[in-house]
Amino acid sequence: MAKKKQQSAGTPATVALTAAGTAYTLHAYAHDPAAPSYGEEAAQAMGVSADRVFKTLVADIDGTLTVAVVPVAGSLDLKALAAAVGGKRAAMADPAAAERTTGYVRGGISPLGQRKRLRTVLDASASSYETVCVSAGRRGLEVELSPADLAALTDAVIAPIGRA
């Protein structure tokens, strides 16, 4: 009798973290599809300050998709993001292109374990925390890790790209 291949409960993000030997904590919560902000929902569900929970946004900078990781409590400064990677024009990426390229669904895009690794910029405010939380690859699942590990695993540029 053939053995059934068991599906891993992990996401590409947690698989990448485990493969790298990176210390992290996984936080699961019941996601409400009607929540107006996935990031703020995550912060409230985990009881963590919204300044320590970071959202993963995909922008188009001069025709190249780029990941921006900024606190959910603020917004992304597109001009600062473009400047951080030496670009001129920046706009939010088409959601379908972001999903197709990263392999994740909107609201669950992780900066880790993407289908096609995109250049990444991490907001400088992350450096002021011992740990930060980012999507673990699906809505209702966050991963907590050190900002240094996040930057190292994504080869991130660290720059002030968030606005309060």
Model confidence pLDDT, tens digit, residues 89-107: 999 999 999 999 999 999 8
How far is C-alpha 78 from the geometric centre of its chain's CA atoms? Answer: 16
Summarize the confidence of residues 70-74 as an average pLDDT.
95
How many CA atoms lie within 13 Å of 68's alpha carbon, on the beta-carbon side? Answer: 30
pLDDT in tens, 112-156: 999 999 999 999 999 999 999 999 999 999 999 999 999 999 999
Q: What is the structure's pLDDT at 144?
A: 97
- Provide, for the chain, the percentages of residues in helix, strand and coil under a 3-state DSSP scheme, each rounded to the nearest 5: 30, 30, 45
pLDDT in tens, 2-22: 333 333 458 999 999 999 999
Summarize the confidence of residues 52-65 as an average pLDDT.
97
Classify domain 23-163 at the CATH class level. Answer: alpha beta
Q: What is the structure's pLDDT at 157?
A: 97
Q: What is the structure's pLDDT at 9?
A: 58
Write the single-letter amino acid at 76. Answer: L
Q: What is the structure's pLDDT at 39?
A: 87
Asked whether the CA dihedral 18, 9, 130, 146 is positive or negative, the reply is: positive
Does the structure show a pLDDT above 90 at 33?
no
Q: What is the structure's pLDDT at 120?
A: 98
φ, ψ of residue 63 to 5 degrees: the values are 90, 0
Summarize the confidence of residues 33-53 as an average pLDDT.
90
For the whole model, what pTM was predicted? 0.92
Q: What is the structure's pLDDT at 152?
A: 97
